[in-house]
Structure formats: structure tokens, C-alpha cells
Structure 1
Amino acid sequence: MSAHFARRATLSRSVRLLAQFRFEQSEPARFYGALAADTVALTTDLWAAATGESPAGRTVVDVGGGPGYFASAFDQAGMRYVGVEPDPREAHAGAARAATSSLSPAVDSASGTFVRASGMALPFADGSVDICLSSNVAEHVPHPWRLGNEMLRVTKPGGLAVLSYTVWLGPFGGHEMGLTHYLGGARAAERYTRKHGHRPKNDYGSSLFAVSAADGLEWAASTGALIAAFPRYHPRWAWWTTAVPGLREFLVSNLVLVLRPS
């Protein structure tokens, strides 16, 4: 499965994506635009590897879709996009902004449908979507595997659930707090607050949690649906790090879990 995506997992891709991370806070459209294009490519490759078909015309539910930067990218690839976001502040910018000004829980736009809901209680029927995606969300919820179970619940048999998240002990685990998270999450958040005069957006214990690679792999294996696991931003020759306990917590950075319910 993951070998199908391996042809894209080059060193130049890794360098290109990592270069965009510095724009996450200052130019979010630039950062998330690049991430969206890469996410569509990843999803397309995984679906083609699993089914032998193009995902065009399939429904993609993006759990934690935020302001909808992924919507146009999936729309351009011919997929039906449904973004799920519980926080109206996150949904206020970008394509999902329509949802913040409506009393309706679901709002259609030119680039997809947006639903205000929690990823830990998805408002979709069992086995109702082709692809359920969550990109960099699991570390922001207090019960990440409840979110994962909900993703599996709503995914059709033979479909794909793709859960990608930032590993706490990796270099990006602290998000905007930088490497200070190695001092401890609470201490890093206090240090950030003293320096900047406000709490970090990704605040440890409320909107950022310590999620390990080991926990994700254990949960995914327990479902019986895991078909691939690999580091999202690494070149193919570095994927071996996923298989090494301890070391993977520091080197994997962002773990992709690909599950196919039967």
C-alpha cells in the first residue's frame, strides 16, 4: 500500500514541505495550500493502491478541516469534499467561513460542504463515506483514538480512513512553542506566554496533547484494519524509523495510519 506513495516520497518533496512550515503562522494560506496539494496527492495514491481506481467522484470527509484550505484542492481533483470543524474561530477564515454565519449545521459552498461538529462524534451514518481523512488533528483532541474509531465507523467497507498526526516527542510536537516542549508541555506553554504576552494557539492540555507514535500504532493494530503506517514528511529511505520503538518517537515527526475497514 504505502509503496504506491513511495515514488512521491523523495528528499526534494521533504525539503519543499519543511520549507513551508515557517509560514504556518504568518502566511497560513501559503502553508496550507502546499499541504493541501500534498494531501490530495497522498490520498489519491493510497486510494489507487487500495482499489486500482481513481478517487474522482468519491466522497472525502476531512475531520478537523478548519478554514477549508483543503476544499478547493480536493474539488479540483474531482472528489466531493465535506469538511468537519467544531471551532467557529477556526472555520471563520477561508472556504468554511459560510458555516460561521449560519444556524444550519451544514453549509454548501462552491468548493464543498462544511459541517460544524466534533470529530469525536461525527454526524454521519455508519459506513457512509468513501474516504475519511484527518490531517494534523489527533494531537489537538483529548481522546485521539475516539476520533479514530469514529473515522472507522463512518467509512464504508473497502474505503479508507487516513489519520495523520504530529508525534509529541518529534521536533514539531510543540508546534509554535518550538523545541521548548522538551522541557515539558505545561512549562513550554508558560514560557511562550511570558515571551509573547498571550497563550499559544496550540496550548498544552487544552488544544494540544502529547500523542505518541506507539499509542497510535497500538490503537491502529487493535482495529484489525491497519494496512500501512509511515512517516508523512520523510523520504522513502527513512521510513524504517517507524518500526523502531523509542527512536520513532523522536524521528517520525508525523505518523500516517492508513486503515481499510472490511
Structure 2
Amino acid sequence: MPAVTDAVARRATLARSVRLLGEFRFEQRDPARFYGALAQDTVAMVTALLDGDPAGRTLLDVGGGPGYFADAFEAAGLSYVGVEPDPREMHAGPAGDRGAARFVRASGMALPFADDAVDVCLSSNVAEHVRDPWRMGREMLRVTKPGGLVVLSYTVWLGPFGGHEMGLTHYLGGARAAERYTRRHGRRPKNDYGSSLFAVSAADGLAWAQSTGMLVAAFPRYHPRWAWWTTRVPVLREFLVSNLVLVLRPS
């Protein structure tokens, strides 16, 4: 696995980080552009973790959303299945009803799949939106074949993007930030603290992953390789990691 991690590190350049940061500006007003770019980058990350050989693998995407990831992964040669609890999200992507056909409507808390069913189980930016993210993590491990890969990536609460569309006001407290957003915009935020957004720390994710005995890598998703050291520093990582990737290999 160290060689595979090196493959991910080689593509973690400053130019890539700057490009992705620029795409974040379009998340609200041009989701196709934002999620399309994120999907391509995620495919590149997973492909690197698979040692450049994704063809013929089955990938289960927990919280697959509106289908941008589905198209990107299938173009790379993987057999894609998404899990999404919200039917509106399933039909909202670029493929509409056709894209929804590749999804199962279900919760990540209880995946409707047999043990050892898939080669790769991915969850991208979902853990901060569920009340018990590590229950979801255990389900991901259960459905993944021994020797396969589980890739769980999530936004760290105290990082600059922890508040999602509420911006940096989450540093005032999640409930206060949500109320402030509501007063300003006349509606609750989509990522509403306490119901669809929760404070998930880097420390909690690392502690859970290490407790499984299956953790093989942990790194900041959007950072250049020379900034990966931040993952190893308690407290500091909560503010600087931004988005933590946990890579586990079920045994």
C-alpha cells in the first residue's frame, strides 16, 4: 500500500489544489461545473489507490448524489452503483432518470447489500451529514471484499469549509450560524446544523479508523503533498486539514 499512497501523493500538486479551490466558487451557482470537476478528481484519486487498474471493479458510492460521479467512474471502467436516500438527488444529475437507474434508494446506515459484495466502497463528503458517521463506516467495511478498498472522505468541522454555505460563521457555533443564515436569506440552509450537518472532527475519524485495524492511509484531500504533515498534528489538523481522506483495506 505505501507505493499506492505514493501514487496519490504524486498527483497532489499545488497546481491541482489551486484549480480545485477555484472550482469551489461554483458549487451553488453552477453545480454541474463544480461536481463535474470534483468527480474527475475523485476518479483520479481512486484510480491511483487501485494502482492504476480500475477496470472491471465494482464501486459502491454511499451518498452518490445527482450522478456526476456515476458518469465519471463508468467512463474509467468501473461498474458503478450509488446509494442515495433522497429521490430528488437521484434524478437531479446530468443523466436524469437514466442516471437514477444506477442508484439504490437507501440509507448509508444500513446498506442493502450482502457482506463482501463490492471491490471499492466510496463515500465523498457525506460523513458530516449523518448523525453516526462511524456506523456508516462500519457498513462500508462490511460490504467490501477482503483486500478491497474503503475510501471515506469528509469535511472537517473546524476547517474553513466546515460550515458549507454558511461560510466562516460556523466558528460562532453551528446553531448560531444556521440562524444567522436564515435571517439573511429567508430560508434554512440546505446543510442545516443539527439536522443535515454535524460537527465531525479529524480526531474522531482517525480514532475510529485506527480502531478497526484496517487503516492504511490518511491525508488531506485537497492539499498539496508537502502539506500532508498537518494530518499528524493534533488540534492543528482540525483547522488546517479541511477534508480528511481515510483509506481502509478490509481483511
Q: Give the TM-score of the pair, scaled to structure 2.
A: 0.96
Matched residue, 2:144? 155
Instruction: Report Cα offsets for 1:31-59 as digits up to 9, x if no partner.
Output: 000000000000000011xxxx6111100
Q: 1:132 to 1:96 in 2, by over 3 A?
A: farther
> 2:174 & 2:13 partners in 1: Cα distance?
32
Matched residue, 1:31? 34
Matched residue, 2:173? 184
- What letter corresponds to residue 64 of structure 1 in structure 2? G
- What letter corresponds to residue 112 of structure 2 in structure 1? P
Matched residue, 1:19? 22
Matched residue, 2:250? 261
1:238 to 211, 227, 233: 227
1:43 aligns with 2:32: no
What's the Cα RMSD here?
A: 1.3
- What letter corresponds to residue 89 of structure 1 in structure 2? R
1:98, CA displacement in angstroms?
2.5
1:97, CA displacement in angstroms?
3.9
Matched residue, 1:54? 53
1:172-251 residue pairs with structure 2 within 5 A? 172-251=161-240
Matched residue, 1:77? 76
1:138 aligns with 2:127: yes
Q: Which runs of 5+ in 1 are unaligned?
A: 101-106
> 1:90 & 1:203 partners in 2: Cα distance?
17
Q: 1:156 to 1:96 in 2, by over 3 A?
A: farther
Task: After the TM superposition, list the runs of 4 or more consecutive aligned residues in structure 1 that deviate by more than 3 angstroms.
Answer: none
1:4, CA displacement in angstroms?
1.8
Q: Is the 8 A contact 1:161 1:258 kept in 2?
A: yes
> 1:142 & 1:3 partners in 2: Cα distance?
33
Q: Is the 8 A contact 1:71 1:95 kept in 2?
A: no
1:94 match: secondary structure: coil
Q: Is the 8 A contact 1:160 1:260 kept in 2?
A: yes
1:87, CA displacement in angstroms?
1.0
The range that moved more, 91-100 or 136-145, is: 91-100
Matched residue, 1:87? 86
> 1:29 & 1:119 partners in 2: Cα distance?
24
Instruction: Report Cα offsets for 1:200-252 as digits up to 9, x if no partner.
Output: 00000000000000000000000011000000000000000000000000000
Matched residue, 1:103? none
Q: 1:219 to 1:136 in 2, by over 3 A?
A: same
Matched residue, 1:104? none
Give percent identity, aligned residues only. 80
1:96, CA displacement in angstroms?
6.5
Instruction: Report Cα offsets for 1:111-163 as digits up to 9, x if no partner.
Output: xx211000111011000100000000000000000000000000000000000
Instruction: Report Cα offsets for 1:6-46 as digits up to 9, x if no partner.
Output: 11000000000010001011100000000000000000000
> 2:174 & 2:224 partners in 1: Cα distance?
29
> 1:207 & 1:25 partners in 2: Cα distance?
17
- What letter corresponds to residue 78 of structure 2 in structure 1? M
1:188, CA displacement in angstroms?
0.1
- What letter corresponds to residue 25 of structure 2 in structure 1? R
1:99, CA displacement in angstroms?
8.1
